[in-house]
Amino acid sequence: MLGDGILKGMAETARNFFGSYVSKERLTTVEYPEQRIPTAENARVFPFLVYDGTDWEAGMRCVACQICEKECPPKCIYIDKSTDKKPDYVGKPQFYPARFDIDISVCMSCQICVEVCPFEAIKMDTQFELATDDRFGGLLYDRKELSRSNEYYHAIHPTEAAEVDARLAEEKAKVEAKAKAAAEAAAAKAAAAATQPAAPAKADSSGLAATAPEAASLTDATKPAGGGS
Amino acid sequence: MITMLGAANLLLANPLFTNLDQIFVLLRNWLVGFFPVAIRPAAGVVLGVVAIVCVFPGLFALTTVFERKGLGRIQNRLGPNRVGPFGFFQPIADGIKSLTKEDVVPFRANAVVHFLAPLVLVVTVFMGFAVLPMGRNMVLVDMDSGLLFFFAMGAATELSVFMAGWSSRNKYSMLGAMRAVAQMISYEVVLLLSAVSVVMIAGSLSLPAIVAAQNQYTGSFPHWYIFTPWGLAGFVVFAIAATAESNRSPFDLPEGESELVAGYHTEYSGFKFALFFLGEYLAMFSLSGLGVTLFFGGWLAPFSFLNFVPSWIWFFGKVMFFIFVFIWMRGTLPRLRQDQLMNFAWKFTLPFTLLNLLVTALWRFMGEGWQRWVVCTIILAAAYVIFGRIEMRRQHFGPRKYRYAE
Amino acid sequence: MSPIFYLLAALTLAGGLAAVLLKHLVHSALAVTVAFAGLALLFLQLDAQFAGFAQILVYIGAVAILIVFAILLTHGSELPKGGVFSHTWFLGLVIAAGVFAVLGWAVLASVSAVPQSNIVPSVTVHDIGIALVGRYVLPLEIVALLLTAATIGAVIVAMHEKERAR
């Protein structure tokens, strides 16, 4: 019969029309600023810097190794290494970033900086409401704006943060055990105690040195191509 | 046939009812009283025009927000709800936006014609309201040939559409205008012919007279033309043609977004675009008003015991119901293709309307009695089924063949 | 003769003149529409509602659109190189003047033939309808036949092309 398809369609839309007033599950709309869906645990937007404790400057995990700066594909990270050192989480003196800026207008949220960081110092944030009326200064975040506490990290990525904490605790325990063993050995040998604690630190820095040239060679390889184009 | 005119007269004698029913007429007469005697008739007309120019754009604003909310609900969305309570101030925000937007005229456009097109559209569409009876004694001009006037104004809107499309110097505008004009011409024939059947029975081209011809009740049931076989058939065709005439979905291919950007008003922005928008909705209102007047008894109450409700409430209520159906159809039906549109106009609706004219003549000359009901119903139903079968058989589902593109 | 008549007459004449003198074909078509509208308004001014509205419906709604369609579908909107004005415009002017003279003479001569009365004749649509299917039924039917023949002819012309395309 001609026209019955139209009537069927009209009945369907009428059902939708009245149904949307009756049953709430028909309406899938989330009225965003008032209502929010909790972000997924794996969500990632832009990177942030993790610090331990309460003081962001003292507890910052970043040691200004500059791997992320070199690895960053769009080159949106700017790091200045400090001249002095401060103790890191195991109590070893380390450099810290005197300047750590990320231009989030350039950042492409690839998470490579997080992957390459050997110190678990940079992680991905889930905060996405970053609109500002200042295109340049407002989107260039310095280290103070970038730093978030470890508790915040636990709040947004609980599973990942627990793994990281476990790993760090393990490393710290290992370092402490080594130091203890070294101290005991030193006591046993009754040698001078001043030079001994530096041994594990040397091993650490040699590992760092192994990765750094790699990164440097990578950037060297890409540079001529970039310059040519 | 028992008329309930006696009861109606009793009601009319009640002063409260008369005042409510005639409130706008009384208001106008009271306002006209302030003018000097010499210009009173002119002042009355001007006041009527002002009322129309105020009421219908107001209705337009309301309709836009209701349409968006209704479409949203049809698609299980919420619709606009940000501006004001439940989003009802949305049209005000839209109005401010369109007024403050830059008015861009293309460099190669024909500036004068480009400027005139929306004006011609809105003016001619507004003219159509002059002959619509919106309540008892509420018609601006009671013309002897009101229906003809209405269609003449409708014909003039086609020219404005063409002017808009041609003057923009844009291929999308031009194609949209060609489509719109072809569509409007095709369906105007059908629209006119379906209205002619009403004229044949009512014996007048004056719209108040057509309403008066339907002002009878059997028991408490009205004698509207929709409740006759030819009236129902005529109304269905009229509704289809009116939808096509006002470029509403599913006949909105003059502004098919997917292929033509926005059709003939692609190159319009700001207030001129708002005028086109207004004109389109006003055309919808006036065609709804005409449909109500021709087939649904205009301002008459649907049951004689409901006569105490003021007549203008009935008219506007019916028009708003029509608008609701327009929105409902827009939320339901997909857009037609150009060849489907033309085939439907010339191969289905036009022959059916011509047949309906014959049936109407039969109805007119068969006299009172049940025989004419049976005969007319059988002829129309049989024709509908046969036409429908032929149409359905012609349908080829499958990939479309292109004549020139391959 | 009221000032309104002169205004409308001027509008109609301006539209007609513009249609002849404008260079762009679409402009001419739109100017013709203005002339049609002026003519319709003149009818209305004479209280001939039916004629006036029929003028708008048929001439503006159909004829003007038809002209415009014809122009657009035949690339007529492009300006010809050799100018748009005919070289034999003087002959045309003479013929036009001749036609005008004949028409003017006919109108002036009919003034005395028709009885003058101050009563405005009121012709309702009803009267026109009765006259059309009563006294003038034969001309009406002849016109209807002519139009039907024209329609069939148009259909045949359109079909012919389709057959060839196959």
User: What CATH number has the domain bearing residue A106?
Assistant: 3.30.70.3270
In a shared domain, residues A100 and A195:
no
CA nearest neighbour of B356 among B207, B188, B192, B183: B192
DSSP state of B265: G
Q: Which chains touch C (3 or more CB pairs under 8 A)?
A: B
pLDDT at residue C20 in the model: 83
B201 is a domain residue: yes
Report whether pLDDT(C162) > 70: no
A207 and A103 within one domain = no
pLDDT digits (tens, 9 = 90+) for A35-61: 888 888 888 889 998 888 888 888 888
Contact: A13, B328; criterion CB under 8 Å: yes
pLDDT at A215: 43
**Residues on chain C touching B143 (C-beta within 8 angstroms):** 49
| Residue A80, phi then psi, degrees to nearest 5 | -115, 125
DSSP annotation string for chain A: -TTHHHHHHHHHHHHHHHHHHH-GGG-----TTTS-PPPPTT---SEEEEE-SS-TTTSB------HHHHH-TT--EEEEEEEEEEE-TTS-EEEEEEEEEEETTT-----HHHHH-TTS-EEE--------S-SSGGGEE-HHHHEEEHHHHHHHSHHHHHHHHHHHHHHHHHHHHHHHHHHHHHHHHT--SSSTTHHHHHHHHHHHHHHHHHHHHHHHHHHHHHHH-
Residues in B touching C61 (Cβ below 8 Å) = 151-152, 154-156, 158-159, 188
Task: Check residue C141 and give its pLDDT.
Answer: 93
Contacts of C33 in chain B (CB under 8 A): 159
Contact A28 B76 (CB under 8 A): yes
- Using 50, 70 and 90 to split pLDDT, how confident is the model at C163? low
Is B145's CB within 8 Å of C57's CB?
Answer: no
Write down the pLDDT at residue A180.
86
Are A90 and A174 contained in the same domain?
A: no
- Write out the residues of chain C at the interface with chain B, using a CB-CB cutoff of 8 A: 26, 30, 33, 40, 49-50, 53-54, 56-57, 60-62, 64-65, 68-69, 72, 124-126, 165
CA distance B234 to B289: 16
Question: Quick check: B391 and A17 CB within 8 A?
Answer: no
* Per-residue confidence band for C145, with pLDDT thresholds at 50, 70 and 90: very high
Sequence-separated contacts (24+) of A215-224 with Cβ below 8 Å: A215/A67, A215/A70, A215/A71, A215/A116, A216/A70, A218/A70, A218/A71, A219/A70
Q: Which of A1, A9, A21 sits opposite B388 (nearest CB)?
A: A1
Q: What is the pLDDT of residue C147?
A: 92
Interface test with C, best of B162, B179, B346 (most C CBs within 10 A): B162
Residue B142 lies in a domain: yes
Kindly list the domain boundaries of chain C, sorted by start residue: 1-79, 124-166
Residues of C in contact with B154 (CB under 8 A): 61
Minimal Cα–Cα distance from A133 to chain B, Å? Answer: 22
Report CB contact under 8 Å: B148, C124. no
Cβ contacts of residue C59 below 8 Å, gap of 6+?
C33, C36, C39, C40
| CA atoms within 13 A of residue B261's CA, in its CB half-sphere | 15
Residue B3, pLDDT score: 44
Strands A122-124 and A77-87, by their bridges, are unpaired
Q: Quick check: is A101 in a domain?
A: yes
**A1 and B331 in contact by Cβ < 8 A?**
no
* A88/A112 same-domain check: yes
Q: For residue A220, tell me if it sits in a domain.
A: no
Task: Please classify residue C64 by burial: count the beta carbons closer than 10 Å to its beta carbon, then call 0-12 exposed, 13-18 middle and 19+ buried.
Answer: buried
pLDDT above 70 (res C148): yes
A29–chain B Cβ distance below 8 A for any pair: yes
> Which domain covers residue B321, as residue numbers?
100-392
How many CB atoms are closer than 10 A to CB C77? 15
Are B145 and C125 within 8 A, CB to CB? yes
**Domain assignment present for A197:** yes
> How many separate domains does chain A show?
2
What confidence score (pLDDT) does residue A202 get? 47
* Chains A and C touch each other (3 or more Cβ pairs < 8 A): no
Instruction: List pLDDT tens digits, range B317-366.
Output: 899 999 999 899 888 888 888 878 888 888 888 888 999 999 988 888 88
Lowest mean pLDDT among A18-32, A82-96, A118-132, A189-203: A189-203
Say whether B159 and C64 touch across the interface (CB within 8 A): yes
The answer to whether residue A149 is domain-embedded is: yes
Q: Residue C146: its pLDDT value, please?
A: 95
Class of domain C1-79: mainly alpha
Find which of B67, B69, B77, B384 to mutate to test the A interface (most A CBs within 10 Å of its CB): B77
Task: Specify the pLDDT at position C98.
Answer: 94
Yes or no, beta carbons of C65 and B158 under 8 Å apart: yes
- For residues A78 and A153, membership in a common domain is answered with yes
Spans of chain B below 50 pLDDT: 1-8
**Chain B, chain C: beta-carbon pairs less than 8 Å apart:** 65
Q: Do A123 and A73 belong together in one domain?
A: yes
Interface contact flag, A31 B78, Cβ < 8 Å: yes
B75: which chain A residues are within 8 Å (Cβ-Cβ)? 16
* Structural contact between residues B261 and B165, judged by C-beta atoms closer than 8 angstroms: no
With respect to residue B331, please indicate whether it lies within any of the assigned structural domains. yes
Q: Which three-class secondary structure state does DSSP give residue B222? A: strand
| A to B CB pairs, distance under 8 Å | 45
Do A114 and A190 sit in the same domain of this protein? no
**C-alpha dihedral sign at B225, B226, B229, B234:** positive
In this prediction the ipTM stands at: 0.77
At A216, the pLDDT band (50, 70, 90 cuts) reads: very low
User: What's the whole-number average pLDDT of chain C?
Assistant: 82
Neighbouring residues of B373: CB distance < 8 A, sequence distance ≥ 6 = B228, B229
- Name the residue among B175, B223, B173 with its Cα closest to residue B198: B223
Q: Check: CB of residue A208 under 8 Å from CB of residue A65.
A: yes
Q: What's the rounded mean pLDDT across residues C91-117?
A: 84
Using a CB-CB cut-off of 8 Å, the residues of chain C touching B144 are 49-50, 124-125
Q: Are residues A67 and A83 in the same domain?
A: yes
A149 plus A64 within the same structural domain: yes
Q: Is A148 contained in some domain?
A: yes
Smallest Cβ distance to B143: which of C33, C49, C64? C49
| Chain A residues near residue B77 by CB distance under 8 angstroms | 20, 27, 29
Give the range of the structural domain holding residue A202, as residue numbers without chain letter: 164-212
Contact A14 B75 (CB under 8 A): no
Q: By C-alpha distance, which of B308, B280, B281, B143 is closest to B209?
A: B143
Q: A147-151, B97-101, C71-75: lowest mean pLDDT where?
A: C71-75
DSSP letter assigned to residue B217: E
The number of distinct structural domains making up chain B is: 1
The pLDDT assigned to C94 comes to 92
Query: pLDDT for A91-144, tens place per residue?
Result: 778 888 888 899 988 999 898 999 998 888 898 988 888 888 888 888 888 888
DSSP conformation class of B269? -
> pLDDT value at position C97?
93
Q: How far is C3 from chain B (nearest CA, A)?
A: 18
> Does B58 fall in a domain?
no
In a domain, A7, yes or no: no
**pLDDT score of A76 more than 80:** yes
Plot region of A43 (φ>0 → left; ψ -120 to 50 → alpha; else → beta): beta
Does A16 sit within 8 Å of B74, measured CB to CB?
Answer: yes
